[in-house]
């Protein structure tokens, strides 16, 4: 099971050289940066735990990885979601279907999802482990520190005195911990979920000591997990040029916002591929509807 030391590829696009940290080539069960966020739990025995609890979207990459974590640890896995649509219930592929195959117990909350999840920590028992939506908790720092070390070592080998690291953000957990452990470089991100202000609040919730935070390249254009024709064009061009398959939820937004801001970034750019391509089939079906 490969969970560290992913390779780095490069390609040229719009007169810039881009480097791609290929965490998508880590074990596919842990969907790229999920291998980093879950490294602490994968390596720790935790003998008192027999049940894993989490919540989030019905096609979440983290949900899929958590289902494998629970399977490896022989834990029960309880996952809370909003009320599922008929289409989602009938979907026979993608992260939801595979997570259910791994034994996930799915609980739909029709009316009180937000309030329940806001207070879910108060319901956790001693034999249960809660992993927050997006893996937004301090244990994620353990694996992100390893990723930071890999990037720092590579930069030394390339003799880069400056480096701009870009990662598309949900909760911003990965970006925040990378900036903490790569103080000599600049970490850039964009808000794929919610507003730039929401992302800043996510940073503040995780900060325990004084530290720099990543540069937020504001996304005030695209709604999360919503297909846009211009995003499809952008990611198709990037994939054709790089010969790399990217995630169809976060990466179209990530690449679009990054390309709009490249003139502001003089340092070499390394784009962190966070995996997640396991869910591409369902997202591509949504794109086909708007493109047909």
CB-based contact 96:88 (threshold 8 Å): yes
pLDDT band per the 50, 70, 90 thresholds, residue 95:
confident
Q: Is 13 exposed, middle or buried (0-12, 13-18, 19+ CB in 10 A)?
A: middle
pLDDT in tens, 38-77: 999 999 999 999 999 999 998 899 999 999 999 999 999 9
Closest CA to 21 of 277, 291, 244, 289: 244
Q: What percent of the chain has pLDDT over 70?
A: 100
> How high is the pLDDT of residue 178?
98
pLDDT in tens, 185-200: 999 999 999 999 999 9
Question: What mean pLDDT comes out for the span 95-123?
Answer: 93
The mean pLDDT value of the chain amounts to 94
In this model, does residue 86 exceed pLDDT 90? Answer: no
CB-based contact 39:139 (threshold 8 Å): no
Domains of the chain: 8-35+139-291 (3.40.50.1100), 37-135 (3.40.50.1100)
In this model, does residue 256 exceed pLDDT 90? Answer: yes
> How high is the pLDDT of residue 281?
86
> How high is the pLDDT of residue 168?
98
- Alpha-carbon distance of 212 to 5, in angstroms, equals 25
Q: What percent of the chain has pLDDT over 90?
A: 85
CB count in 10 Å sphere of residue 263: 8
Question: What mean pLDDT comes out for the span 242-249?
Answer: 97
pLDDT in tens, 120-132: 999 999 999 999 9
């Amino acid at each position: 099971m490969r969970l560290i030391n992913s390779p780095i590829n490069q390609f040229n696009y719009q007169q810039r050289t881009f480097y791609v940290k290929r965490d998508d080539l880590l074990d596919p069960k842990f969907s790229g940066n999920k291998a980093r966020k879950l490294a602490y739990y994968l390596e720790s025995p935790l003998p008192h735990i027999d049940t894993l609890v989490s919540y989030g979207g019905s096609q979440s990459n983290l949900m899929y990885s958590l289902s494998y974590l629970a399977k490896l640890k022989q834990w029960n896995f309880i996952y809370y979601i909003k009320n599922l649509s008929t289409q989602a219930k009938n979907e026979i592929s993608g992260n939801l279907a595979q997570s259910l195959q791994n034994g996930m117990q799915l609980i739909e909350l029709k009316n009180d999802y937000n309030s329940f999840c806001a207070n879910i920590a108060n319901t956790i028992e001693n034999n249960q482990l809660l992993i927050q939506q997006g893996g937004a908790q301090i244990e994620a720092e353990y694996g992100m520190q390893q990723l930071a070390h890999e990037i720092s070592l590579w930069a030394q080998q390339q003799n880069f005195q400056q480096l701009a690291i870009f990662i598309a953000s949900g909760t911003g957990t990965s970006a925040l911990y990378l900036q903490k452990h790569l103080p000599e470089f600049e970490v850039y991100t964009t808000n794929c979920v919610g507003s730039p202000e929401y992302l800043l609040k996510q940073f503040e919730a995780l900060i325990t000591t004084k530290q720099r935070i990543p540069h937020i390249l504001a996304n005030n254009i695209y709604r999360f997990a919503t297909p846009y024709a211009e995003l499809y064009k952008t990611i198709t061009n990037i994939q054709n040029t790089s010969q790399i398959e990217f995630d169809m939820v976060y990466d179209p937004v990530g690449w679009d916002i990054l390309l709009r801001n490249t003139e502001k970034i003089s340092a070499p750019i390394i784009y962190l591929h966070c995996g997640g391509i396991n869910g591409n089939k369902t997202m591509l079906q949504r794109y086909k509807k708007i493109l047909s």
